[in-house]
Amino acid sequence: MKETIEFIDHKEEQSEIKKGLFRELLDGTLLTREVVIKQLPFLVFLTFLTMFYIANRYNAEKIARETVALQNELKELRAESVTIAAELMEISKQSTVAKMVEEKNLGLKESVEPPGRIIIY
C-alpha cells in the first residue's frame, strides 16, 4: 500500500482569489455582499474619522504658520521699540534740548542757577 501525497499550490489559489476580488470590486458586486453592507456604518465612521484627522492636521499647520508670523512681527516690534527708546533718550539729553531750543528760536534761555528748595513747616 503506497500512499500518494498531493501538494497543493497555495499561490495559484491566492492569485485566483485576488483576481476574483478585483473583478468583483470593479463590477460592484463586492459592495452588494451582505458582509460589506453590515460593515457600512463602520466604514462611514472610518471615513468621517479620516476626514476629521486631515482637517485637524491642516488647522494645526495653519496655527503654526500664524504663530511663526506673529513671532517674527513681535521681534520686529521689539527692535523698533528699542530704537525709539534710544532716540528718545538721545533727544531728552540736556545738551540736545538746549540745541533744539536754539535752532527753533523759541527765545528760551538755560538757567545758570541751580533750583532752590521749598521748605514748608
Hey, what's the cell of 65?
A: 504658520
Cα–Cα dist 28/59, whole Å: 36
Domain total for the chain? Answer: 1
Q: Which of 6-20, 45-59, 83-97 has the highest mean pLDDT?
A: 45-59
Determine the Cα angle at 15 with ends 13 and 18, to 5°: 110
Classify residue 64: in a domain, yes or no: yes
Classify residue 85: in a domain, yes or no: yes
Classify residue 46: in a domain, yes or no: yes
Could you tell me the pLDDT band of residue 13, with boundaries at 50, 70 and 90?
low
Classify residue 4: in a domain, yes or no: no
**Sign of torsion, CA 65 71 77 80?**
negative
Q: Is the pLDDT of residue 1 over 70?
A: no
pTM here is: 0.52
pLDDT the model gives residue 20: 75
The average pLDDT across 45-61 equals 98
Classify residue 5: in a domain, yes or no: no
Nearest residue to 98 (alpha-carbon basis) of 83, 112, 84: 112
Share of the chain above pLDDT 70, in %: 83
Q: Which residue range forms the structural domain that includes residue 69?
A: 25-103
